[in-house]
Each structure stands twice: as structure tokens, then as C-alpha cells.
Structure 1
């Protein structure tokens, strides 16, 4: 039910949006950011030629915004060339892009979320958006002295003038990278051949050559510069999974992107040419792309112009998608056979089942399962379906592709009649429903007025929450605190997570703790509390929704897609930044008290968000320590918890160190198993770090694919964090700088408690007996 003040709020919102756009237009005429004059979040920076603009933009239909460059002329049809580490922000009013010394910073409410990694010092620096679309940080008054440039960190796209290989000016080795749900790809220069490159997909390399007109080679092939062809004013190099294309804009038939050059050059020679859910037919020698039954081209204009890698999308949603990602038995979802295939599609996942019917049920039980096969054991495909090719002759393969929930048998109701029936029912019942909801809204709002709250949190009525969650039908998870449900806010497409707290006394305590901590703070690495509901004994909290769930599901589970080292490293850095903000940048120091992988959520871009502040403690700046009652989870508790000593923010540092080891190794630190001659993984890790053998600590599933320097640095940070004495541990601000490589580290000592374990005393603070005795005191 829309509250009575909604028209006024809507008017003010529209006024603020229009005003913001006018303000942005008014201040975006400059192409430079100077010290002391930051670019606000609702502003854009425009190149002198007016071709490019830089700002905080939203990919797709998400709620997060990221710093990027796009082509002004194309408006919503332009790709965005992302800058930085894809740091997501929501509140543009609190975000700024500013220059300080020789570095560029993204800041939110004064907290630094990202900075350029300039190494050279400068008396005064400026940030400039060049006519090529390259954002550079250079010395003021000396345009030839460049400290940092966005072209050295191009993501999956390269603009003309951009480099693959060694950038001689900054000594950076530049490559393109693609990151999907569980697939990685890269494109790098290959100096062994003229204009050569290496296209990698999940570690498998394919070598190719750029045409002479497309690139210019420098340094005996050490670097390749993408040429600008004057005939085409808008073009760029685009990396997709298993394919790279030179894209140009075509105004033909309403406009669309055309592949001027592609490698591989056809669907017969490239398994990813037809994109997601696209199949290469055997109708012609060169092959043609079409969508499998139940799917249509994602971008029909581009398909018509001959660019297929954008793939196909479902014509109708899955039943579980309509239920917010949860399966309910899947009675309405169906499977269609796609046969006469040349082998099976890319990247199947093996499932151990007894029968073919069990295989179908296994796929149906996972909303992200899109197809299955029973030809050589049960194989499932998650999220995407690539490399579908129809064979010219036997042997053939076949798979079963999952179709949308509104696909019906001929004898059933059609979607059209269902929609008409629903609309008719709604029209008849609307007057009565509006009256009931209005009464309940006013009653719930009156009840919630008894709770005082600071900040900009929204007070929801219980009726609104119930409607948003479909009467609490879509459960995401459950724990000792209560249950979490997925929902969509009324009158909006914003997906939220609603925490329904249980237990009167404990629920009230946790409710107030979360509102008083998360409700007052904003940071890209802290889960955002949107609002709450108080209704009688009910206590509900409304959070932003994190589609990738919690960190533990990705680093400990075999079923989730394997996280690459780079993603793990960025997750670790994000957690550290969030904790540093809590400890050092809030008005009062906030100790989380329960840092563990289950309390780290991941958004669509795998940006980490610290959550679950029910055990948190606000500590005034004039106090150094507090808390004596044990809070938290066994295995992540600092020694001072066990010994009953006062707790400081260094307890969170210890927990972070344990989590860091788990991110590195992909295993629980508390697992009681043999690691060499040790039974406790952090003990084993501390010894290996001191011996200089850090690769043995890396998750074996990564097969050694990691930046060894970063890995060694991260392992050292973890060892410093888990020192016995809190004074020996770094602050979280220092941890951030250590992970970023800004400060050098000495070799961390092996903690004394670990030395006892090494020497054979297995009755340390982490033994089960010690824990039980301590918690009984």
C-alpha cells in the first residue's frame, strides 16, 4: 500500500533527479579534476572533444554504480569501459572522485574505497579524461609525465590507442580479462609472432594473429597498439568468453554493434561464437547461429547485423526465478530435448546419482541448473550453456534444456488467459484490498513509531513486508537469529533480503544492535540496511540483496564455481577495507565480534559485504577496550576471548587473519586433519610462511594459478593478524595498506601458542576440552 505522502515524495524525488541531471550537465564541461575540487557522484567528466564521459554508471538493471567511461553520443547503447577495481556504490550523494598528491581516490562519506596505484611522486597532480577515453593522472603543468592511466587496466575492452603487452611509459603488462559466473578468460600479447596474441579460456590457450591494419607493433612485438580507423568513428576491441572481436557501431536498422573482425571467425571454428544458449547449425558450410527452443536473441539488432556472441535469453522465466531463486518442486518447469549435437556443451558438472530420473531431479532442485544429460553419467550445466554445435553426421549427443515456467501443454491454460484472469480478479478486489491495507498500514506505522531511530532508514509496515516477501514464502536461509527471506519492494524492482528475528529478548537486543550500527553507517564493503519493521513482538530488518550468497558457499563447497586467485584477493582486500572503516573511520569504533566466511556476503560483482552485526559493540573513542562475555564463533576467536581479558578491535583483526587463511586455502582452519605434521591449519601455515613455501598453502583446485608475490604478501598479513598478543597485531588500516603493497612487511614470527602445538602440546587454547571448560565458567 502506497502511503498518503507518496505523491509528494515522488514529486520531490523527480525534482531531485532532474535537478541532479541539470547540475551534472552544468559542471561536466571540464575535463580535469584538480586537488581540492572533487567530482561529485552525480556529476560526469567530459573529454574536450565531447566524445567520452566519465561517471558512476549502472550495469544492466542493478542498483550498484561503478566508475567508468562511455560514449556520450550513444547514451544507453554504449558499452561502459570500467575503471578501477569495480568498487560498487549506491548513494551518489555520498560519493566523490578526487585527487590527492599523485593518486586518484573514490571516496564515500569520507572513506576511501579505491585509489589508483601511482608509484611516482608529484608536487601537484591532475586527473584528465583524454579525447581517446583514457583517464590519466599526470603532473600539473607537465602533460608528458603520467603517473597512472586507465588504459593500463582495461578490463574486458580496449579503446583505440590502448595497449596490449608492455606499456613502456608505466612498465605495466596490459591484458584484457573476462569474468563470468564461473568462467575466466584473458587476452594477452604474444611477442613470439608478428601481431600475435593468446586467447585463454579457463586456462586453455588458443593463439592467433591480429591483421596488420588493426594494430601497430612496438618493441619487437612486446606491445600492440589498437589503431584508430578514421572511416569508423566508434569502435573498440571486446573480449568475451572464448572470443575476441573488433566492434564498430552501425546505424543500420535502428543501430547496433557489428563485429568488424572476430577470432575465431565463425561458429564452426569457435565454440563460443553463438553466445549463451546459441547453437551453431549444420545448414551451411560456414555454419549459422540460432537460439535453442524457448530462447530468443538477447539483442536482435546485433544478431541481424551478424554479431551473435551476445547470445540468447529465455522467452519465459523459470518457475524458481519467479519464486526468487528457490525451487518448489519444479512442477511447472519442463525440459526440452536438444539432439543431434556434436559432443556435449562446454563445462559440464558431474553429479553422482543412481538413475536418469534422479539426474533430472538433481537439476530441477537447483534454480541455476539450466540443462542436464545422462549419456555418460549425470552431467549438469549451471547458469550458462555455451558451445552448442549441431553435427553433420553421427555420432550424435543430446541434452535436456530447462524451459520457462509458463510453457504449457496444449490442453492447459495459455499465458494470455492466465494474465486476463488475474487482472480481472485484481480489478474486482482492488477497492476492498486498498481499504484493508490502508487500515493496516496506519496501524503498523503507529506501532513502529514507538521505536526511535537515527539516519535515513525507512520504516516499513508489516503488510508491506509480507507483500514484498510473498507472505514469507521465499526463504534464503535460517540460523539461530531467525530466518532470511527474499523479497521485492512494492512498486519497485529492488530485490531485498528480509531478516525475521526470533526470540523475544534476544531478538530485541539483536534488532537494536543492528539498527544502531548498520543503520548509521555506509560503506561499499558493509551490507546496507534499508529499513526495518516493528509490529507487536515482530522485529524485521530489510537489507540489500546479495545474489552470490555468503563467502563460505564459494570457498568451502565443491558445488559452487571456483573463485580465481584474483577474485579471492579482491574479496580479502574488500573485507579489510570494511573492517578498517568500522574500527577507524566511524564516529564510534565498532567491533564486529563475529567475523567469519558466513558473515561475508557477495554481490553480483563478487564485491564482499560484511553482515550480521547482532554481536557488534560500539566503543567510544575515549575507551580502549570493553567486553568480557564471550561472543563469536569457535575457531575465529582471539586468545583474549578465551582467557577472559578485555576485548579491543584487535579481536576482529585476529578473526580476519583466520578468514584470510581460509580464503587462501579453500579449507576450514578448524578442520582436525593432518597438514604435514600438524593438526591445526594456521599452525602449518605459519611454519610454511616462515620457510618461504606459500604455494603449498594455496587452494589445490587453483593448480598454482596465482600471483605468487600477492600470495606471499597475503600469507604474511594473515600471520601478523593471528599473533597471540594483540599489540603485535596490525590495525585494520595497516592491514589494508599491507595488502595493497604500500608498506613493506618483515617476516612474521610464529605465535607462541603455535610453537606449543608444534612441540607436541595439543592442549592449547583451540582444543575442544579448553573451549568447553572456558564456556562453562
Structure 2
């Protein structure tokens, strides 16, 4: 099998998704003195217009997360090698999010560092940017910007939250597509585990795509997603292509339209290439242009086509979304 399966409700490995924490959170067993963090050589990470990743010491990140405490845990990922995400504070003050990988997932520190540096060169206003990492001892840690205003999943699926308005749903789709196009243009064709938990809202309440999805959850890359609904059919045979990300984007569009997580039984139908009708979120009370709904539903169905070659490219996706937004702007005048 070329992908990791789990129930759609299983804990995600991104931040601001609060699950019941696992009590078996072990602090690092090799405490170190607080040495100054190191800047990675510019030649390794720095392209024009980017900021080099910071190489933190383990002691710095232990202090920032209060020893990877349960109180700081934001989520624990599923799969064979679960990774954990913690909130943290660095001097400054600076709020951060730290993803703690299982050592089994990345046994080779240099291999992990190479993967992180490759992803860390990407800088875009539609991304939650990576800012650093740590490979001390047997720890594999990834540090990203903190997003204060929840995930798309929280806003869409929580029954206690205010209904996400239609215009914001269209904006989310457009911004995520822009982030993916940027990554593809920069040579990062695969984004791992694209789902509604990977979309986070910044301090200005704009949606951004998590940088954690730019780094594989494990060295062999077998785990494309821990969410069954987002796994494309070709991953059943271990094949992952840029078109696989388009499939996952199609599921994200379904989430935006329906306001509900795709249940596992429907996910299996999608994996088998069967059309699954989508019902628009009733909480919107019909307050959306029907032409836009038809366009987005049609785009979702194209993205979910069984054969990867039959799915639209990211440029096609952006063109369709741009047309939807253009029509909306014209109607508003």
C-alpha cells in the first residue's frame, strides 16, 4: 500500500486542531545546555527574496514548548509513526508552532535536514512559512509561524461556530490554489496531506496553507495522507503525482461547498471513481450565486476524476476560480 489510511475524524498533525492529548508525551531524554541557535548557510537555503531557515538547538525548543508539555500540545497525527504539534514562545516574544517528528519516521538527521531545507526555501504570502528546524540528538523538529485564528476545519465543521460565508469559501479555494501554484512553479510539485486542517487563518483573517505539508511525514514518503477522504485512487498503488494534489484539492472544494467532512463511506466511492453528489451547506440559507455554486461543484468533480491525466492542472483550477471571483465582483457593482 502506498498511503496511510485512517478514519476521517482521526487527529491531524497540524496546529490549532485540538484533540484529546495522548498522555504518553515524552520529553527529550538528552537535555542540552542552551546554546545559541545557528543560521543555516545561505547557500543551502537562500534563494533570491527568501529568508534562510534558522537552526534551533533542542534546548531552545524545549524551553519554548515547556518541555513539549501536554498543555502545549495542539494535535497528534495518526498513522504508523504519529507526529505531534506544539505551541511555543521564543524570546522576543515570538509565537511559534513546533512539529515533532517520530525518530522512526526520520532516522537519518542529514536526510531530514535536506528535506526541510528544500521546503524552507519557499516563501509566499499564501503560505504559513517555515522558519526553522532542529536535528539535535534523536529529535527531528520543524518550526513554523503561528496562525492565531483557527483552521478551516474548525470554522467549517464546528457546530458552535458562526457559519462561514460564501465569499470566504471562494477566497479560501482561490488562496489555496495560488499557494499550490507557487509551490509547483518553484519545483515543489507534491503537497502532502492537503486537507481542511492544513488551511489556517492569520492575524488579518486571511487563509494560508500550512508549510508543514511541504515536508514528508516520513523519509520513504509512503504516507500521502492520514485522511482517507483526501487520498487519490493512484495512491492505492503507491503512485503520487502532482495530479494527486489536485484530487485532494477537489475534496477540499467539496468540504467548502457542503460545510461537512466527507464521510469514509463516500470517500471510498470517490477513490473508486464513482461520482458522489455534493449538497451545499444548508446553513448558507441559499445566500450564494447559483452560477458560482455550479462552477465550483463542476470544478470539484473535474478534480476528482479517477484518472490523474483527466484532472485539470493547477493553472486550469486558478483560471476557473478567477472567473468565479470576476463574476462575483461584477455582480457586486
Do Structure 1 and Structure 2 share a fold, with TM-score over 0.5?
A: yes
- Cα distance in 1, alignment partners of residues 135 and 315 from structure 2: 36
2:149 and 2:201 in contact (8 A); partners too: yes
- Cα distance in 1, alignment partners of residues 35 and 62 from structure 2: 12
2:257 and 2:281 in contact (8 A); partners too: yes
Question: Which residue of the partner structure matches residue 641 of structure 1?
Answer: 235
User: Normalized per residue, which structure has more helix?
Assistant: 2
Question: Which residue of the partner structure matches residue 485 of structure 1?
Answer: 86
Report SS of the residue matched to 1:440: coil
Of 569, 576, 579 in structure 1, the residue corresponding to residue 177 of structure 2 is 576
CA-CA distance at 1:449 after TM superposition:
8.1
User: TM-score, normalised to structure 1's length?
Assistant: 0.33
Of 288, 305, 312 in structure 2, the residue corresponding to residue 706 of structure 1 is 288
* CA deviation profile, 1:160-212 (whole Å, cap 9, x unmatched): xxxxxxxxxxxxxxxxxxxxxxxxxxxxxxxxxxxxxxxxxxxxxxxxxxxxx
CA-CA distance at 1:725 after TM superposition:
2.1
CA-CA distance at 1:645 after TM superposition:
7.0
Question: Which residue of the partner structure matches residue 718 of structure 1?
Answer: 300
**Does 1 or 2 have the higher relative contact order (CA < 8 Å, sep 6+)?**
2
1:495 maps to 2:95 = yes
Of 705, 712, 737 in structure 1, the residue corresponding to residue 319 of structure 2 is 737
1:592 maps to 2:183 = no
CA-CA distance at 1:671 after TM superposition:
4.5
Q: RMSD in angstroms over aligned alpha carbons?
A: 3.6
- For residues 669-680 of structure 1, the aligned pairs below 5 Å read 669-672=262-265
User: Normalized per residue, which structure has more strand?
Assistant: 1
Of 612, 622, 647 in structure 1, the residue corresponding to residue 213 of structure 2 is 612
- Cα distance in 2, alignment partners of residues 581 and 449 from structure 1: 23
Tell me the matched-pair count.
279
* CA deviation profile, 1:550-608 (whole Å, cap 9, x unmatched): 2222212213332111111101111111111122x10x242114211122222231422
Question: Which residue of the partner structure matches residue 454 of structure 1?
Answer: 45
Question: Which residue of the partner structure matches residue 159 of structure 2?
Answer: 558
Distance 1:578 1:682, change over 3 A: farther
Report SS of the residue matched to 1:562: coil
Distance 1:513 1:739, change over 3 A: farther
1:658 and 1:682 in contact (8 A); partners too: no
- For residues 30-45 of structure 1, the aligned pairs below 5 Å read none
1:487 and 1:498 in contact (8 A); partners too: yes
* CA deviation profile, 1:394-414 (whole Å, cap 9, x unmatched): xxxxxxxxxxxxxxxxxxxxx
1:577 and 1:733 in contact (8 A); partners too: no
2:126 and 2:208 in contact (8 A); partners too: yes
CA-CA distance at 1:631 after TM superposition:
2.7
1:504 and 1:537 in contact (8 A); partners too: no
Report SS of the residue matched to 1:683: coil
- Cα distance in 2, alignment partners of residues 520 and 553 from structure 1: 29
1:513 and 1:616 in contact (8 A); partners too: no
Of 462, 467, 470 in structure 1, the residue corresponding to residue 63 of structure 2 is 467
Distance 1:539 1:629, change over 3 A: closer
- Cα distance in 2, alignment partners of residues 602 and 711 from structure 1: 23
1:541 maps to 2:142 = yes
1:527 maps to 2:119 = no
- Cα distance in 1, alignment partners of residues 74 and 238 from structure 2: 37
- For residues 630-669 of structure 1, the aligned pairs below 5 Å read 631-632=224-225, 633-642=227-236, 644=237, 646-669=239-262
CA-CA distance at 1:635 after TM superposition:
2.1
1:548 and 1:606 in contact (8 A); partners too: no
Distance 1:476 1:726, change over 3 A: same
- Cα distance in 1, alignment partners of residues 61 and 120 from structure 2: 18
- Cα distance in 2, alignment partners of residues 579 and 498 from structure 1: 22
Long gaps (5+) in structure 1: 1-323, 327-436, 618-626, 687-696, 745-777
- Cα distance in 2, alignment partners of residues 551 and 514 from structure 1: 27
- Cα distance in 2, alignment partners of residues 628 and 469 from structure 1: 27
CA-CA distance at 1:546 after TM superposition:
1.2
2:131 and 2:143 in contact (8 A); partners too: yes
Long gaps (5+) in structure 2: 1-15, 19-30, 47-51, 327-333
1:590 and 1:616 in contact (8 A); partners too: no
CA-CA distance at 1:453 after TM superposition:
4.6
- Cα distance in 1, alignment partners of residues 321 and 235 from structure 2: 26
1:592 and 1:616 in contact (8 A); partners too: no
Distance 1:715 1:468, change over 3 A: same
CA-CA distance at 1:528 after TM superposition:
0.5
